Structure 1
């Protein structure tokens, strides 16, 4: 499956990435409101989830008691992502809607590959099957020391399965997101998530404006 050509769609796909407690959900909400205020149709969504079947898989992966094999976990992630893409993301983009997504394929690279040891060749193969050539137009990577992120995350309530993993796991995930951003600077920008929400949102919007020339000022 490939992304519709820009001649057929004015919708843009923006993803937010980062470790636990980095502030992705808050930033997604703020950016969606700002884009809507500029007159753009906006859809805010998340992963895993974002479509009926994908939400069922989200419950299994985040709240289920099973410690998944890394390959099995990646298969579930990409099954949910494929449903999300087919049922929600592509239809919205084809309708000219801007989509802001809390996590996408970079999270699988960070969590399943760098965190759990999934071979990157397996990740690349699954991405080719599930996404084809489809990629985000821009990705905001929220950079926060993992100990600070986990302290924030644990204030939200009972931890999910990923939040219960140890400090070493979260340190690997944090390093992975930094590497992902550094390896693809055209698509990705690394943002200091230690900032308060308002200046973080301003910095994020500036970076989006520099990467997406059709974003209204």
Structure 2
């Protein structure tokens, strides 16, 4: 039977790692088979591309180069992780996916959304997330958390208005694709955020997984 494709999205410092860990714990308690990956990354080649994307270089990356590298890494992740996991009937948990490209390269960089859509169809075919959990937080709060983790990567060093555009595009997509998205208000206490996520899993995921896997 087909698997279930669950993606976790959000800006820097939104708590995606916390969400992923909570979801894995929930899956394990229910005896649900899952596999975990991330973007960009997830395979040896895709992780090398991730390093190119996030490291500081003496040579600037053009916005188009950044976009193409994102989809190159995604193609590897789909081939080695996502599609095999779906074929095996597992829940595939992916820390960011193509919604992030629309948010960062589309919203943040201002690249043509139609160009992103063309690459999306080329690389993914009909594969789209079954559900997306968006960890939403004010960029000021998120970046304060990110700075507290240590040195910022190349993208994390963008100006605040970049992250405001990223957040705006995420929220726009959550409205357009309301059946796919669940928005978690991630600016509150950890307990509150966890309760929101668990509520989403119990309400939307448990019954769907039971029927499909």
Q: TM-score, normalised by structure 1?
A: 0.91
Measured on the aligned residues, the alpha-carbon RMSD in Å equals 1.3
How far residue 46 of structure 1 moved from its aligned partner, in angstroms, is 0.9
**SS state at 2:149 partner:** coil
| Pair 1:142-2:155 in alignment | no
Tell me how far apart the structure 1 counterparts of residues 78 and 191 of structure 2 sit (CA, whole Å): 30
Is the CA contact (8 Å cut-off) linking 2:6 and 2:131 kept in structure 1? Answer: yes
How far residue 43 of structure 1 moved from its aligned partner, in angstroms, is 1.6
**SS state at 1:21 partner:** coil
Q: How many residues align?
A: 208
Structure with more of its chain in helix, by fraction = 2
Matches within 5 A, 1:29-178: 29-65=21-57, 66-178=59-171
**SS state at 1:214 partner:** helix
User: 1:197–1:43: structure 2 CA closer, same or farther, 3 Å change rule?
Assistant: farther
Is the CA contact (8 Å cut-off) linking 1:57 and 1:76 kept in structure 2? Answer: yes
Consecutive unaligned residues of structure 1, counting only runs of 5 or more, are 1-7
User: 1:68–1:29: structure 2 CA closer, same or farther, 3 Å change rule?
Assistant: same
Partner deviation per Cα, 1:181-203 (whole Å, 9 max, x = no partner): 11111000111001333332332
**Corresponding residue of 2:6:** 14
**Corresponding residue of 2:190:** 197
Instruction: Please identify, of 117-126 and 188-197, the stretch whose mean Cα deviation from structure 2 is larger.
Output: 188-197
Consecutive unaligned residues of structure 2, counting only runs of 5 or more, are none
**SS state at 1:14 partner:** strand
